[in-house]
């Protein structure tokens, strides 16, 4: 790492950038919007214009890539009353209602420049006028003004740079993002601004996508021309990655660090050729040197991927970064095709903020619109079965499983109704960077090529373990009746320590025990088909997944104890992972259990999440062994995997002495964050995960 980068890294970590920030009171703007009844598209455009006008060009000493946020808050464009009124009329929104959790198609605009988009829009506007397409005109006019607002700020940055004698930055900004990037440096500068502008428009969880693909031509061109070496390219990338950590505390998320700056490396090209390249390598190397939480690295692999690539990834795992998260092309691409994605698009997949698979630039998927609580469904099923039935003893285990699956189906059906009519608030600027929006003269919020909704499945392992426990305790050992067991769940097994002990000792997922794993297979088969034939009114499908997002904390609050021996208040495991604190034989058995089901059915995403004790990497071949484990997971048809490298003692110490562990990174649910910045329930849940 060069001295310049080291200095930028330290100062960014110490948040020197905060000194440039100020607050802006956006309330008058919102009041004006409400009073004047301004339309959604105009609000989005005016919001961006006002936000960017309020920005002051600022530079950190030593940087070559410009742009940092100086205004803390983004304008609210709609009042709560307005949103509630729309909801009352039967409109559903995903989270805040705006475009979010999406990766724009940065490549073409980095390549062509915003002037090219303006020219396209001018000619499209003429066509709209000719066709008397008012909706199209409104979109194009707002989009043009949005692009101009971005270019105005860039021009102010250029002048400020010139004034400060930062001639290199000034020269770069004279080219990009107005015109197409000619060099790797210009491409990174262009990307930095385009990405930041999305956040300023109000989008959040803005992914970066396949940077090793769309930036590769600049890297290759520069190297061939002798302008760039791997060392200088590494420095450029490191500066860009540091910049991703500069404004991230201003980004919206449930927890600090949950900001969706995902990068996807490797995989295959749109025409199916291996895509892992020299730039992919440099990206991994840069992350390994910087040891920051952003960007969040994902790595696409398949059964032909050489061990060496897994080892490069595992080097980051060994450093405790919590990434890369691996995705399996052999499983994900066919799964996306099954949901209607064209082969070329499916091959181009990346992930949203966490693990939800998406295709950058051509999707308006809301891939985390809601979740089904599997533990909640089982609890409801047990109560349905036993309520008011004196003859509960005639119930068989098969009845229990059938009622559980029926409850899952009822909950899935309810979500289909709940999200029957979803509206998304417009984003004219992001639309400019999304395929087809200019051509169709419609904002991306009106729909893109893909308009699917993703549904998480929370606590699957806890539900499966609970089923295994019900079978063993009630139907095989006959330790308790089903009705008695349900009562015990309400009292945390009060007075029956024997039942609690038996519940904890019952078969668990993670031990390659067919008594649990066969049940998991049936549950995943069912869940994978729960939305078959259902469509939302945007024409999209519902994609079930194995992710939990933050619901592993939230859903746990809604249920009493569960039959696997989990007591009330104890959280669920995150994503697709063994229940907390269960004894497992080891990581190989965990991988075996969690790859038994057909994971291609549940490819909304949701990784096998395992925690490796940090001592695994004390031996020099620890990296190779863990890499072999990931390769094994992929070979067995796993869809997605992430590995935390932790040490429970360190985490406990970090709770006591946070100041000593400021750099301690953990994988939370689908992203890496600083442990000490997490709320305590999220910290505690990680401490209770099974250490392997």
Partner 1 sequence: MKGRIFEIREFTLHDGPGVRTTVFFKGCNLRCAWCHNPEGQSFEAETMTRANGEKIVCGEDWTADALADELLRNADIMAQSGGGVTFSGGEPLAQAEFLMELIPRLKRMGVHLAIETSGYASSQAYRSVVTQVDFVYQDVKLLDSDAFRRWTGGELDVVLANVAWLRGNGVPFAFRVPCIPGVNDSAADREAFVDFADGAKVEFLAYNKAAGAKYPMLGRTYPCPPMSS
* Residues lying near partner 1 in the complex (CB under 8 A): 512, 585-589, 592, 615-616, 618-619, 621-622, 624-625, 628-629, 631-632, 635, 692
Quote the least distance from Cβ 625 to partner 1, whole Å.
6
d(CA 594, CA 590): 6
d(CA 21, CA 425): 27
Element (H, E) at 640: strand 640-646
Quote the least distance from Cβ 587 to partner 1, whole Å.
5
Quote the least distance from Cβ 307 to partner 1, whole Å.
9
Nearer to partner 1, 284 or 584 (CB): 584
Quote the least distance from Cβ 109 to partner 1, whole Å.
43
Nearer to partner 1, 201 or 330 (CB): 330
Quote the least distance from Cβ 557 to partner 1, whole Å.
26
Strand order across the beta sheet in which 542-544 lies? 366-373, 453-458, 542-544
Quote the least distance from Cβ 591 to partner 1, whole Å.
8
Which spans in 586-647 are helix H?
Answer: 587-594, 622-635
Quote the least distance from Cβ 610 to partner 1, whole Å.
11
Q: Which of 82, 74, 73, 77 is nearest to 40 (CA)?
A: 77
Nearer to partner 1, 90 or 497 (CB): 497
Nearer to partner 1, 97 or 313 (CB): 313
Three-state SS at 300: strand
Nearer to partner 1, 5 or 626 (CB): 626
Q: Output the CA–CA distances (angstroms, integers) from residue 626 to 55, 209, 610, in the order listed.
A: 46, 26, 11
- Convert 175-212 to b/e letters by CB count within 10 Å (16 or more is b): bbbbebbbbbbbbbbbbbbbbbbbbbbbbbbbbbbbbb
Terminal-to-terminal C-alpha distance of the chain: 33
Nearer to partner 1, 4 or 613 (CB): 613
Quote the least distance from Cβ 496 to partner 1, whole Å.
17
Q: Which residues 6+ apart lie within 8 Å of 1 measured at CB?
A: 9, 238, 289, 290
Nearer to partner 1, 216 or 633 (CB): 633
Nearer to partner 1, 66 or 634 (CB): 634
Q: Are 138 and 443 in contact (CB under 8 A)?
A: no
Nearer to partner 1, 377 or 692 (CB): 692
Quote the least distance from Cβ 650 to partner 1, whole Å.
16
Quote the least distance from Cβ 512 to partner 1, whole Å.
7
Phi, psi of 502 (to 5 degrees): -65, -35
Residues in a beta bridge with 666:
673
Element (H, E) at 482: helix 482-490
Nearer to partner 1, 130 or 618 (CB): 618
d(CA 294, CA 282): 15
Q: How many helices (H) and strands (E) does the chain have?
A: 29, 14
Quote the least distance from Cβ 499 to partner 1, whole Å.
17
d(CA 103, CA 529): 27
Nearer to partner 1, 396 or 615 (CB): 615
Residue the block writes with tokens 């002990």 = 501
Quote the least distance from Cβ 451 to partner 1, whole Å.
40
Quote the least distance from Cβ 530 to partner 1, whole Å.
31
Q: Kindly report the length of the chain.
A: 692
Nearer to partner 1, 537 or 649 (CB): 649
Nearer to partner 1, 313 or 606 (CB): 313
Nearer to partner 1, 182 or 585 (CB): 585
Q: Output the CA–CA distances (angstroms, integers) from residue 260 to 199, 580, 621, in the order listed.
A: 11, 26, 32
Q: Which of 379, 390, 334 is nearest to 357 (CA)?
A: 334
Q: Output the CA–CA distances (angstroms, integers) from residue 476 to 469, 506, 586, in the order listed.
A: 10, 11, 27
Q: Which residues 6+ apart lie within 8 Å of 170 measured at CB?
A: 158, 159, 161, 162
Q: What is the dihedral of CA 25, 27, 30, 36, to 10 degrees?
A: -120
d(CA 222, CA 263): 22
d(CA 644, CA 324): 10
Quote the least distance from Cβ 203 to partner 1, whole Å.
42
Nearer to partner 1, 575 or 595 (CB): 595
- DSSP assignment letter at 474: I
Quote the least distance from Cβ 124 to partner 1, whole Å.
54
């Amino acid at each position: 790492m060069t001295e310049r980068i080291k200095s930028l890294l330290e100062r960014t970590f110490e948040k020197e950038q905060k000194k440039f920030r100020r607050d802006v009171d956006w309330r008058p703007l919102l009041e004006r919007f409400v009073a004047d009844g301004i339309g959604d598209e105009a609000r989005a455009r005016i919001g961006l214009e006002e936000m960017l006008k309020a920005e002051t060009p600022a530079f950190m000493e030593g940087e070559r890539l410009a742009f940092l946020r100086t205004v803390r808050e983004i304008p609210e464009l709609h009042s709560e009353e307005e949103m509630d009124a729309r909801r009352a009329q039967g409109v559903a929104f995903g989270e805040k209602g705006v475009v979010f959790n999406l990766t724009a198609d940065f490549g073409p605009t980095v390549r062509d420049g915003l002037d090219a988009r303006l020219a396209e829009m001018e000619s499209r506007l003429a066509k709209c006028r000719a066709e008397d397409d008012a909706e199209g005109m409104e979109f194009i006019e707002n989009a043009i003004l949005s692009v101009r607002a971005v270019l105005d700020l860039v021009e102010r940055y250029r002048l400020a740079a010139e004034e400060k004698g930062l001639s290199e930055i000034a020269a770069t900004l004279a080219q990009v993002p107005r015109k197409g990037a000619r060099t790797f440096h210009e491409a990174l500068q262009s990307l930095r601004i385009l990405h930041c502008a999305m956040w300023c428009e109000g989008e959040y969880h803005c992914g970066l996508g396949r940077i090793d693909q769309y930036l590769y031509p600049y890297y290759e061109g520069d190297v061939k021309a002798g302008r760039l070496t791997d060392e200088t390219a590494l420095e450029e990338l490191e500066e860009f990655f540091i910049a991703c950590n500069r404004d991230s505390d201003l980004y919206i998320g449930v927890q600090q660090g949950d900001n969706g700056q995902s990068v996807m490396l490797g995989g295959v090209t749109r025409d199916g050729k291996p895509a892992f390249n020299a730039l992919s390598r440099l990206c991994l190397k840069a992350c390994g040197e910087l040891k920051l939480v952003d960007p969040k690295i994902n790595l696409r692999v398949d059964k032909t991927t050489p061990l060496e690539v897994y080892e490069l990834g595992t080097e980051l795992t060994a450093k405790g970064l919590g990434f890369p998260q691996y995705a399996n092309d052999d499983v994900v691409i066919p799964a996306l095709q099954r949901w209607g994605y064209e082969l070329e698009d499916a091959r181009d997949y990346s992930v949203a903020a966490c693990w939800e698979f998406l295709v950058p630039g051509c999707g308006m998927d809301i891939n985390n619109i809601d979740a089904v609580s599997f533990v909640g469904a089982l609890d409801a099923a047990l109560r349905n079965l036993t309520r008011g039935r004196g003859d509960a003893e005639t119930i068989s285990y098969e009845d229990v499983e059938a009622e559980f699956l029926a409850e899952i189906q009822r909950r899935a059906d309810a979500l289909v109704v709940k999200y029957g009519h979803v509206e998304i608030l417009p984003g004219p600027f992001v639309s400019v960077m999304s395929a087809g929006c200019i051509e169709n003269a419609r904002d991306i919020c009106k729909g893109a090529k893909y308009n699917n909704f993703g549904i998480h499945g929370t606590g699957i392992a806890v539900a499966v373990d609970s089923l295994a426990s019900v079978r063993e305790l009630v139907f095989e050992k006959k330790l308790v009746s089903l009705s008695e067991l349900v009562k015990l769940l309400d009292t945390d097994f009060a007075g029956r320590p024997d039942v609690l002990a038996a519940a904890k000792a019952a078969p668990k997922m993670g031990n390659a025990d067919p008594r649990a794993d066969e049940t998991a297979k049936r549950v995943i088969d069912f869940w994978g088909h729960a939305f078959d034939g259902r469509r939302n009114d945007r024409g999209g499908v519902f994609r079930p997944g194995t992710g939990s997002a933050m619901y592993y904390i939230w859903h746990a609050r809604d249920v009493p104890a569960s039959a696997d021996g989990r007591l009330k208040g104890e959280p669920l495991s995150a994503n697709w992972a063994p229940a907390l604190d269960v004894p497992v034989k080891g990581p190989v058995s965990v991988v075996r259990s969690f790859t038994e089901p057909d994971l291609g059915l549940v490819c909304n995403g949701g990784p096998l999440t395992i925690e490796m004790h940090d001592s695994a990497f004390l031996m020099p071949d620890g990296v190779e062994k863990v890499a072999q484990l990931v390769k094994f997971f992929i070979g067995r048809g796993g869809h997605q995997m992430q590995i935390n490298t932790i040490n429970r003692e360190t985490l406990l110490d970090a709770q006591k002495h946070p100041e000593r562990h400021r750099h301690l990174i953990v994988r939370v649910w689908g992203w890496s964050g600083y442990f000490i910045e997490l709320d305590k329930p999220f910290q505690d849940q990680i401490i209770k995960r099974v250490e392997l």
